Structure 1
Amino acid sequence: MAHGLESLVLRHTHRIPSPAGSAGQGATAARQFDATLATVGFKLSAELLERLSGLSEAAVVHIAKRTLRTVREMVGDHVRHNSYFIDFPANVPDTEEFWMRCVTKALADDSSRGNVLTQLTHGVLNLLSLPTYGRYQHTYEEMLAAQDELIASAGDRVTVLHLGRDLDEELTDLYLALAGSTTPLGEEHLGDLRILAERCALGPQPESIPVRENRAVVNQARLAAGADLMLDTVVDVLRLACALSGGDVTLQEPTRFKGFPRPVRRKLLAGLDAVVAANPAKLADVHAYREPFKRLGERLHPHEYPQWPYAADVFAVARGEKEARSFDSRVERLLDAHDILGAVRLLESAPGKLFRALDLLLRIAADEEEREAVVTAAVEVAPEVSGRVLLSVREHLLNRERASDHPRIFVNRRGRGWVAPDTRPPVPAAERDRLITALDAELRRRLPAPRRLLLDPDVLDVALPLSGEASTAGLGVLPRGSTSAVDGEHLRFFVHWKQAEKRTDYDLSALLLHSDYSTDSWLSYTSLRAVGGRHSGDVTEAPDGASEFIDLALERMRSTFVVPQVNIYAGEGFDEAEESFFGFMVRDGAQKGRPFEPRTVRMKSELRGVGRVALPLVFRREDDGRWSAKWLHLYLRGISSANRVEENQMSVSKVVRAFAEREYLTVRYLVELMSDGATAVELWDSETAVDEPVTYIGLERPEGLPADSQVVTLENLRDLIPG
């Protein structure tokens, strides 16, 4: 269990909790540990290396084994990455030549000849019926022997592991950070919070838990520990019931409620009763979740507990036996009557709802007086709106000055994306500009005045993580909408999957687009070679795990966009497979090496969405010839089987255009507000002298910062979002 907790801290913070063990002469073992880490793209900080050197050799070896296991998994090196073509990317044949080679071998095989001849007679051939197609024809060891050794490069990734504090302190701080996050967590981090809450439920708690899903997870742990629950809406109780049933606390997917023990039923009913007794208007919240509340009532048996009549009212509203007018219905009634001023007055009592309705109100306002009332109300209530909503509206307005010929992108909380024409008229310019000025002023007021501000310039174009669903768990993963430079001569992306119960075939492909988003060509199992690109070959089952790669010589690419995608051709979905992840590597031309080299991995992210086509990111050739990546983290619906890049090129092209033309709020925006001319911003480099605590914002924590410095990196970027 301790190893699992240390691994959790390492994944989130890139810190190894202060090592415990007997003192000794561990310097040699520590240096060997550091050298081994370098092979997977990691290194020990000077402070951590010194600490380990003072421990016994046995203690260092023990820590090294645990750490290496975790970092290998972080980068995707915990599995064996074989390639169908043994010396990929060299000697990849033309597609037709390869297929004919497979047919020739099948005809030479007595066991398959008859079946193949029958198919050829009918003019259609199933590639899966060919014995040598889709299955590795060599072992992993044979593939390694056929590859030249990787030549080290100064451009290889180096991720520094730092010395942490005591394990209990690290776990408490991580719990407080996740539980008190101002933005929703992704599914993986929500699972980590559940582990931490079980340990920390009776210890220090955040000042507030603004995200309701986080509160449900914490309440589940508090209920088990016998602590008081944190409830202030009836929906808090519904989310808690979902958590207790192993269901979806985001309420996006239906939960099958289990039978609850009597003590748990009493806790849930008492919680509902207390919330409604304190504010009967909270009954109106039931309407949005009537069906789940009806099913929950069947499990809680409120009629058995007459001492909690307000709890019974909740289920009466759900069944339609008791009236409780919802706030939204009152707003809709006013809007249906074209009473904009009345709707604004009502919405002023719910500032968050007012801000979410600003676009609609400004578009349907009949005259300047009504638009003025909308803007004035928004400016007055802005201090009461959460920072995340303010930033979301600010980003929304950034994209609402244009005419409506641009596509509109929609993404739900599970990462499912789709595009539709934007038929809305632009937001009136004068009101839009006033709102932007007011939002900037309010956000500037909330941001702390930093100490000396040191900035890694590579973080400036990282999009603000306004939702945990805008990213995925992994290494080097940036939030949706972020842009990052791609340096190197060769770009290689990969997918690895392992089926759980049935044959599963994922196809790594790349759609190559012109600057106008029209199709140039593609790389896939049906097109193994393109200008500057090579596909590693199709693998059609993964009982022991399988990998596919695409290698691109960037200087030879003629396309403007390269869109890697993972298509589910057959079998289990991304959230059903035992394991599935995507990533990309960057190499210099002379580096050679195996198809998968962990020290060249720039990003590795989990694939766990619900669609049948995954779009992790898109690469773009800029006007100066350099390449950049824009992060998507999207899943398209696709079809139930046989998804192929050829069939989805139109839908993918529309998605790429929508994202390429959308503007995102980035770290640059907050830094400009934070500094506001009063604080000097210094760009960090390894020669920067630091002798007092600073505020540092960057992709990773550098060495040499004073202990009391405020450090914001990818792991805690959400801390930049003001409350």
Structure 2
Amino acid sequence: METFVIRKTMRVPVPAAPPGDGTAMARRLDAALLSVGFTLSPELLAELSGRDPSAVTTLAVKVLAAVRELVGDHVAHNVYFADFPANVPDTMEFWLGLARKAATTPGGEAVVRDLLSLPGYGRYRHTFEDMAAVHEDFLELASDRVTVLNLGGTPEEEAAALYLALAASTVPLNAADLAGLAALAKTFVDGPEPETVPVRENKAVVNAARLARGLPIRADTVTDVLRAACGLSGGDVTLLEPTRFGSFTRAQRTSLLSTLDAIAADAEKLADVGRHTERWKRLGERLHPHEYPRWPGAAAVFAVARGDRSAPTLAARVERALSTGDGGAAIGLLRAAPGVLLRSVDRLARAGAPGLFEAVRDVAPGTSTRMLLALRQHLGDRDAPSGPRLFVNRSSLAWARSDGLPPLDAGLVAELRTLLDTEITDRLPDPGAVVYDPAVLDVALPLSQKGDAAGFGVLPRGSRTPVRGELLRFFTHWRQNRHTTDYDLSALLLDDRLATAGWLSFTELKGFGGTHSGDITAAPDGASEFIDLALSEVEARYIVAQVDIYDGEGFANAAESYFGYMERDATQLGMPFEARTVRMKSDVRGAGRVALPLLFARDDAGGWSAVWLHLFLQGRPDFNMVEDNAASTTLMVRGVLGRAPLTMRYLFDLWRSLGVEVAAWDPLAVPAGKVTWIGFEPPEGLPPGADVHRPERFAELVPE
């Protein structure tokens, strides 16, 4: 749990310990952290220096292990070609060399017909130590990343604070954070609770922990109760996957059924049962509602699930109204469900439903800010013809197609944008003066983290951040679980028109300004692949990073699977993997057989930026290769580049409209009074008490 706290907050929980002179050990820890791109804040260094050395040593082991895993430095990254990126052979030269060697070996003629089975192919030909011996020392530069670790409270205080922050999050959490919330809830659910838990999945996790402790649950829909039962049974609270319900104690059955009875007093809420009838039937087999006649509302829920009672869903009634051309009736029905109304604005506008603007105006004050921002983002370009539309499910599996939707009425779109901007602006807290790192201007507002991978430096889909190094090196590492598994790191290069300009992969080791580290075809102890690109030599407009499953276990089934990238100076040399230069590292655990973590885009002035994708393609069951899925990858890229997300720039403009002082950080013009800083690493010179928002806190900028 301490590792989870450090990853989420960049704060180090410090347990109680006797005083002493821990200066030497604290400085040794700081030096070790610097080698992987981290450092202790002055307050944390001072605190550790005044503690018993043995306590500092114990804490140092935990902290160093946590941050090394955070950036991917917890494994030894070997490469197929020992002196990569130097002396990597031409692809054809390499294949022919292996083929000649096999052909001249007694009994080797047969394997020449299968290039991947050639002796010496796909397995490391040297140890990590042998590889390290041929690389010159890494030259550290001031431009390398240095992430500050701050002083935290006790482990219990930090974990409790993180529990409250995650439970009260205004945006849905990714799978790793949701699991972390579940672990924290087991310890802290009977302590202080947030006033509200806005996100349904978060509420379900908290409710499951409350049920386990014999506490009453918070629920205002029947689906809340279903989610809580799934969580208590160790199932999926997002309801994506089926849950095998366990046995519930009498107290738990009583809690679930009495809550259902209270909710079902409003007969309109029975309509939600139809969305998950099979799950309700399975749950009914465990709860035995017929044994509790004093709760007829609960019995009604299961009667609807069995089909013994009718409760048409809101969606069905809206569809009926729209099919008869009665858009006004559809809006009247949707006024009772503001979230559904906002999600239906585009369709209602295309149907010419009367009173749409007035309905949005009336329900907006009672709708979450996240929902308002999502609609505002959708309306960003709906008054103009649209290109391919990107669709992403909750497992980040993506597809794109031309939706063929006509542009919406420009006047209505303008009115709705103004309405939403006003409503969102009214909800913004007073930040005092805002100072920011210019690198965050094009970071997307985190409206949901469901599709975002867990990791370090991970940003929401559509975010853009500058790439400042001369060399771009991205990498993947995986470790197979039960079956031989071959992942392939690749790069698809696209020109200005998004036509394929080439690729780098195990079938094209060199060219286009880049070099591939060589193909590894099995990973019982872990395997790594790298692609190194000299950006000044890359003529393509876009570089799409890709991880293909050629054979073996899916991303979610492997023991470990992640991707990242480094920014380096051409003079730095060093090993293929240098943790200090890692700018981003994310888990690769989604559905599909092809992962598209991010792309790199060159602007007209020659500068490069990273664009976050977090997408997965279905791919083929086996033998996925970058050249074979170029068309589908390009379609995804068109979908992402064709739609602009709401970014920090939008948020800053709203604050400016309120008269808030908003400016890029300038050490010579530090604002007086209350200050909010937004960026990646807080600069020296911030006034004491400044409210610091690094990426791990960006979601807090979205009001409830």
Determine the structure 2 residue equivalent to 1:435: 416
User: 1:13 deviation in Å?
Assistant: 0.7
Residue 243 of structure 1 aligns with an amino acid whose one-letter code is: G
Determine the structure 1 residue equivalent to 2:292: 305
Residue 144 of structure 2 aligns with an amino acid whose one-letter code is: D
Q: Does 1:270 align with 2:252?
A: no
Determine the structure 2 residue equivalent to 1:493: 474
Structure 2 counterpart SS, 1:611: coil
Of residues 4, 7, 18 in structure 1, which corresponds to 2:3? Answer: 7
Determine the structure 2 residue equivalent to 1:354: 341
Does the 8 Å contact 1:448/1:674 carry over to 2? no
Determine the structure 1 residue equivalent to 2:39: 43
Q: For structure 2, which runs of at least 5 residues remain unmatched after alignment?
A: none
Q: Does 1:294 align with 2:276?
A: no
Determine the structure 1 residue equivalent to 2:217: 229
Distance 1:437 1:336 in 2: 30
Distance 1:553 1:636 in 2: 28
Does the 8 Å contact 1:147/1:594 carry over to 2? yes
Segment of structure 1 superposing worse, 556-565 or 266-275: 266-275
CA displacement, residues 356-378 of structure 1 (integer Å, 9 cap, x when unaligned): 1111111111xxxx55x111221
Distance 2:667 2:55 in 1: 32
Determine the structure 2 residue equivalent to 1:641: 622
Distance 2:282 2:15 in 1: 49
Of residues 90, 95, 102 in structure 2, which corresponds to 1:94? Answer: 90
User: 1:172 deviation in Å?
Assistant: 2.0
Matches within 5 A, 1:197-346: 197-277=185-265, 279-346=266-333
Change (3 A) 1:689 1:432: closer
Change (3 A) 1:691 1:374: closer
Determine the structure 2 residue equivalent to 1:118: 110
Distance 1:88 1:554 in 2: 17
Does the 8 Å contact 1:19/1:52 carry over to 2? no
Of residues 640, 653, 664 in structure 2, which corresponds to 1:672? Answer: 653
Distance 2:616 2:644 in 1: 20
Of residues 17, 26, 30 in structure 2, which corresponds to 1:30? Answer: 26
Of residues 169, 187, 190 in structure 1, which corresponds to 2:178? Answer: 190
Distance 2:531 2:501 in 1: 17
Matches within 5 A, 1:404-415: 404=386, 406-415=387-396
Distance 1:469 1:459 in 2: 21
Segment of structure 1 superposing worse, 699-708 or 419-428: 699-708
Change (3 A) 1:705 1:222: farther
Q: Does 1:394 align with 2:376?
A: yes
User: 1:167 deviation in Å?
Assistant: 2.7
Aligned residue pairs, count: 704
Residue 98 of structure 2 aligns with an amino acid whose one-letter code is: C
Does the 8 Å contact 1:509/1:522 carry over to 2? yes
User: 1:258 deviation in Å?
Assistant: 2.9
Determine the structure 1 residue equivalent to 2:461: 480
CA displacement, residues 669-695 of structure 1 (integer Å, 9 cap, x when unaligned): 112112315111132245564775422
Change (3 A) 1:686 1:10: farther
User: 1:259 deviation in Å?
Assistant: 3.5
Segment of structure 1 superposing worse, 308-317 or 540-549: 308-317
CA displacement, residues 84-118 of structure 1 (integer Å, 9 cap, x when unaligned): 00000001111111112222333344xxx42x423
Determine the structure 2 residue equivalent to 1:425: 406
Structure 2 counterpart SS, 1:468: coil
Does the 8 Å contact 2:172/2:202 carry over to 1? yes
Determine the structure 2 residue equivalent to 1:145: 133
Change (3 A) 1:686 1:80: farther
Segment of structure 1 superposing worse, 238-247 or 688-697: 688-697
Segment of structure 1 superposing worse, 452-461 or 506-515: 452-461
Segment of structure 1 superposing worse, 322-331 or 64-73: 322-331
Distance 2:665 2:627 in 1: 45
Distance 2:694 2:313 in 1: 42
RMSD: 1.6
Distance 1:644 1:682 in 2: 46
Segment of structure 1 superposing worse, 550-559 or 233-242: 233-242
User: 1:536 deviation in Å?
Assistant: 0.4
Does the 8 Å contact 1:690/1:704 carry over to 2? no
CA displacement, residues 475-526 of structure 1 (integer Å, 9 cap, x when unaligned): 1111101000000110000000000101010000000111101101100111
The percent identity for this pair of structures is 53
Distance 2:331 2:468 in 1: 51
Residue 606 of structure 2 aligns with an amino acid whose one-letter code is: G
Structure 1 counterpart SS, 2:638: helix
Does the 8 Å contact 2:102/2:111 carry over to 1? no
Residue 374 of structure 1 aligns with an amino acid whose one-letter code is: L
Structure 2 counterpart SS, 1:469: coil
User: 1:348 deviation in Å?
Assistant: 2.0
Determine the structure 1 residue equivalent to 2:588: 607
Q: For structure 1, which runs of at least 5 residues remain unmatched after alignment?
A: none
Residue 105 of structure 1 aligns with an amino acid whose one-letter code is: K
